Chain A
Amino acid sequence: MKRFEYHEPASLEEASRLLAELGATAQVLAGGTDLLVEIREHLRPVTHVVNIKRIPGLRDFACDDAQGLRVGALITAREVETSPQVARLFPNLVSAVGQLGSIQVRNRATVVGNICRASPSADTLPPLIADGARLSVFNGNGERSIALEEFFTGPGRTVLRPGEIVTGISVPPPGAHSGRAYIKHGRRKAMELATVGVAVTLEREAGHCREIRIALGAVAPTPIRAREAEALLRGEAFTPERVAAVAEAAMTESTPISNVRASAEYRREMVGVLTRRAITLAMEAIQ
């Protein structure tokens, strides 16, 4: 592997100072399942690796009806995948993390790392955005909070400034009469990057849609909300015609590219199909 200097800061302050001083070729190591591959394949110039695993306080993990979900920066994908509490309240997220790499990868990879990598096809992003997740970010002096859907600026790029470290993610508790679903579309069942990912979280009230959030992965430079599609259903009844119009709008809002996994035309078509399907699944999931 390409050589680098290695650091094990004992506090967030020390880690933040190191990252700020060392500049853009210093990278945070948490799980390492993306970073070590990027270093080995020369995808990212890295001269310094800052391992944050010795920093105390980054292993919060709680999930309940009152507080929702809180996942610290060092919590692995596998811990989230195998939590009965998360499975009960956020089955969409469990479905997404369970399809991330292999068990071996998920035993190392962190959910926060999957977010910070900022891949447009990252599995955890659509369900977390659909559920209104927010990130806690340490900036050297204190913390600031960023809505996950405003975190990404492009493939691999985020609003993080030099020296800033994401310490955790929080998701508000599920609303009453709410249902949620995530559908990953790929060519095989495992070890696959999403060709298209669609997450829908909605709330029903007296047969109408009180609230809906649709998040799309792998069809734009960042994960996106399909806001025009959402607006077509908010306050309306779930008629098949209405849902079809919502799916059509989501297709229009996506701006996919063609690459080795699928063509842009195919991806856009699948956004329509999967949005319709995810709305149905989310409806069925309402308790």
Chain B
Amino acid sequence: MSQIVSMTINGEERELALEPYRSLLDTLRNEGGLTGTKKGCDVGDCGACTIIMNGKPVNSCLVLAVEAAGAMIETIEGLQLAPDKPHPLQEAFMRYGSAQCGFCTPGIIMMAKALLDENPNPTEDEVRFGIAGNICRCTGYTKIIEAILATAADLQRAKSA
């Protein structure tokens, strides 16, 4: 039996009719129309479905949509600062060539955002530890880590300027 669940997705209040066995991932992609969040393994191993829920990065495949009632959800679609102004992490990923096939990219950028929100000045080891749950089969991670560290440095500079 479906139930009406309301949650805030990228700042917008949404009411969705959901069966209890639907994952938040499927709900965001189908009912929500937000296909930026990717479905890789669907069992919490790959991190492609990473979103930020109530300020914390989680695998949206491992959350029941009904559990997100009242939650604040952030997805890759809500990250850009304005329609023509990508988030600094998105800029850096383009500048450093951190995306190849691109499938892991939204999940990694959401994880990186959560990481920098919590720790604005991470070491390389902390970045590697932070994105351990995000699998990328193309890049070998080097350019991803460079982009995250460069974003952190840019944001620090901007703050002290």
A binds B: yes
B132 lies within 8 A of chain A by Cβ = yes
Q: Known contacts A3-B19, A190-B133: does B58 contact A32 (CB below 8 Å)?
A: no
Once A and B bind, how many residue pairs between them come within 8 Å at the CB atom?
Answer: 81
A117 lies within 8 A of chain B by Cβ = no
Leading 10 A-B pairs by shortest Cβ distance: A102-B133, A6-B20, A190-B132, A107-B56, A37-B43, A104-B59, A1-B21, A104-B133, A33-B62, A107-B58
A49–B64 CA distance with the chains assembled, in angstroms = 11
A49–B20 CA distance with the chains assembled, in angstroms = 9
20 examples of A-B residue contacts, CB within 8 angstroms: A5-B20, A6-B20, A6-B64, A33-B62, A37-B44, A37-B62, A51-B64, A51-B67, A53-B67, A101-B133, A102-B47, A104-B59, A104-B62, A104-B133, A105-B44, A107-B57, A108-B59, A190-B129, A190-B133, A191-B133
Residues in A80-111 with C-beta less than 8 Å from chain B: 101-105, 107-108
A283–B73 CA distance with the chains assembled, in angstroms = 46
A4–B67 CA distance with the chains assembled, in angstroms = 15
Q: Which A residues are CB-close (under 8 A) to B111?
A: 103-104
| A103 and B132 contacting across the interface, CB-CB below 8 Å | yes
A21–B6 CA distance with the chains assembled, in angstroms = 31
Q: Which A residues are CB-close (under 8 A) to B59?
A: 33, 102, 104-105, 108
A53–B63 CA distance with the chains assembled, in angstroms = 13
When C-beta atoms are compared, the residue in chain B nearest to A7 turns out to be B20
| B21 and A104 contacting across the interface, CB-CB below 8 Å | no
Partner of A104, one of B42, B44, B67: B44
Residue numbers of B with Cβ under 8 A of A are 19-23, 42-45, 47, 50, 56-59, 61-64, 66-67, 111, 114, 129-130, 132-134
A161 lies within 8 A of chain B by Cβ = no
A39–B43 CA distance with the chains assembled, in angstroms = 10
Name the residue among B44, B56, B114 with the largest chain A CB count within 10 angstroms: B44
When C-beta atoms are compared, the residue in chain B nearest to A102 turns out to be B133
| B57 and A32 contacting across the interface, CB-CB below 8 Å | no
Partner of B57, one of A2, A103, A190: A103
Partner of B64, one of A36, A41, A101, A189: A36
